[in-house]
């Protein structure tokens, strides 16, 4: 498929996201210059009104003071100058909730305010293209996907006028330098030249940006067949997979040389899901869940970390022991 312009490519992707349950619109609709704007300034990345509504919706017992505390914890930058550690902090809050103390009917309560509904019944999903941001310099990312008002995925599309996927990666690097606020809550970024498509975390170099090669986890789409951006959009950027990736398939490491963020590949993601199904089925059979075969360099250590983390939180397994 050929694109006459990057605008055509953006329109195609926005239509694809709309068909997958995202509310899609132009970035002009979230401009701070609008009446009753979502953002108070072009420096703001979070859709504040949508975020506040989500906090209230997901935590109906929270009084207004506690809601304001939660909003401040998320919107106020803490680890200035260390964007990956700040992303780590925000990722933990999104996955585990924000610690909060409040009074309810005269009784002091301690809890965690939810930022995400993992059942996806009460989440607000949006995608905007051409989002004006100002940091060190003004920048306009092609597409930004938001979860409850929090930027979750930044997409950079090239493919016309001779630009390639490396140019898309370089543009993401420019955004990270010039408008770092946009990346405080992101899970990963997506780059594409209109045909090829890859995704990677904040700490990933171009060589660590990965392909997503399946839609359903059963059939791997050959590189010579279909549109890689379409496979990635349907297979990775669907709401259920995004929630799973955010909750179970992202890890951070810090061995003294600075924080690193790692996300699962498509093979690790689907291998964990299939292993879980096998484990649960084996409980009602002979207790043998099977074997996972790894090829060299496939990321077996990460896969086992993702699997262990998922297994430990399965209610049906009643806090299993891992060896």
Cα radius of gyration rounded to whole Å, the chain: 20
* Backbone region of residue 151 per phi and psi (left: phi > 0; alpha: psi in -120 to 50; beta: other values): beta
What share of residues in the chain are helix, strand, coil (percent, to 5)?
40, 20, 40
- Buried-exposed string 143-172: b where 16+ CB fall within 10 A, e elsewhere: bbbbbbbbbbbbbbbbbbeebebeebbbbb
For the domain with range 6-46+119-263, which CATH number is right: 3.90.1570.50, 3.30.2420.10, 3.40.1550.10, 3.40.190.290?
3.90.1570.50
CA distance linking residue 190 with residue 201, whole number of Å: 9
Compute the CA torsion angle 71, 73, 75, 77 (nearest 10 deg): 170
CA distance linking residue 113 with residue 128, whole number of Å: 26
> Do residues 73 and 93 make contact, with C-beta atoms less than 8 angstroms apart?
yes
The residues of the chain scoring below 70 in pLDDT are 1-3, 160-163, 285-291, 293-299, 323
Adjacency order of strands within the sheet including 143-147: 23-26, 125-129, 143-147, 150-157, 188-192, 197-200
- Check residue 226 and give its pLDDT: 73
- Buried-exposed string 7-17: b where 16+ CB fall within 10 A, e elsewhere: ebbbebbbebb
> Do residues 188 and 181 make contact, with C-beta atoms less than 8 angstroms apart?
no
* Backbone region of residue 316 per phi and psi (left: phi > 0; alpha: psi in -120 to 50; beta: other values): alpha
- Check residue 79 and give its pLDDT: 83
Predicted TM-score (pTM) of the model is 0.93
Q: Is 262 helix (H, G, I), strand (E, B) or coil?
A: strand
CA distance linking residue 88 with residue 145, whole number of Å: 19
- Check residue 38 and give its pLDDT: 96
> Do residues 53 and 150 make contact, with C-beta atoms less than 8 angstroms apart?
no
Q: Is 173 helix (H, G, I), strand (E, B) or coil?
A: helix
- The structural domains of the chain, with segments of one domain joined by +, span 6-46+119-263, 266-317
């Amino acid at each position: 498929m050929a694109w006459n312009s990057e605008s055509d490519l953006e329109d195609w992707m926005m239509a694809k996201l709309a068909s997958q349950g995202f509310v899609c619109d132009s970035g002009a609709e979230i401009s701070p210059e609008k009446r009753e704007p979502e953002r108070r300034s072009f420096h703001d990345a979070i859709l504040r009104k949508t975020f506040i509504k989500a906090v209230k919706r997901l935590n109906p017992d929270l009084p207004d003071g506690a809601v304001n505390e939660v909003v401040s914890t998320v919107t106020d930058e803490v680890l200035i100058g260390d964007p990956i550690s700040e992303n780590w902090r925000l990722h933990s809050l999104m996955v585990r909730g924000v610690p909060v103390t409040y009074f309810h009917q005269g009784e002091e309560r301690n809890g965690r305010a939810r930022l995400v509904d993992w059942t996806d019944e009460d989440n607000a999903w949006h995608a905007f293209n051409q989002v004006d941001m100002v940091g060190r310099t003004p920048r306009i990312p092609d597409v930004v996907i938001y979860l409850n008002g929090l930027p979750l995925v930044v997409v950079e599309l090239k493919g016309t006028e001779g630009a390639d996927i490396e140019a898309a990666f370089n543009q993401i690097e420019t955004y990270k330098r010039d408008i770092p606020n946009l990346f405080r809550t992101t899970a990963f970024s997506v780059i594409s030249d209109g045909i090829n498509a890859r995704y990677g975390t904040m700490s990933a170099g171009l060589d660590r940006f990965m392909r997503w090669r399946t839609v359903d986890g059963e059939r791997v789409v050959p590189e010579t067949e279909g549109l890689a951006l379409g496979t990635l959009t349907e297979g990775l950027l669907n709401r259920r997979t995004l929630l799973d990736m955010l909750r179970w398939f992202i890890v951070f490491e810090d061995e003294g040389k600075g924080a690193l963020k790692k996300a699962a590949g498509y093979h690790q993601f689907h291998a964990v899901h299939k292993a879980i199904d096998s484990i649960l089925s084996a409980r009602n059979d002979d207790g043998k869940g099977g074997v996972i075969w790894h090829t060299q360099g496939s990321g077996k250590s990460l896969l086992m970390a993702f699997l262990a983390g998922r297994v430990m939180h399965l209610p049906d397994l009643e806090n299993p022991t891992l060896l």
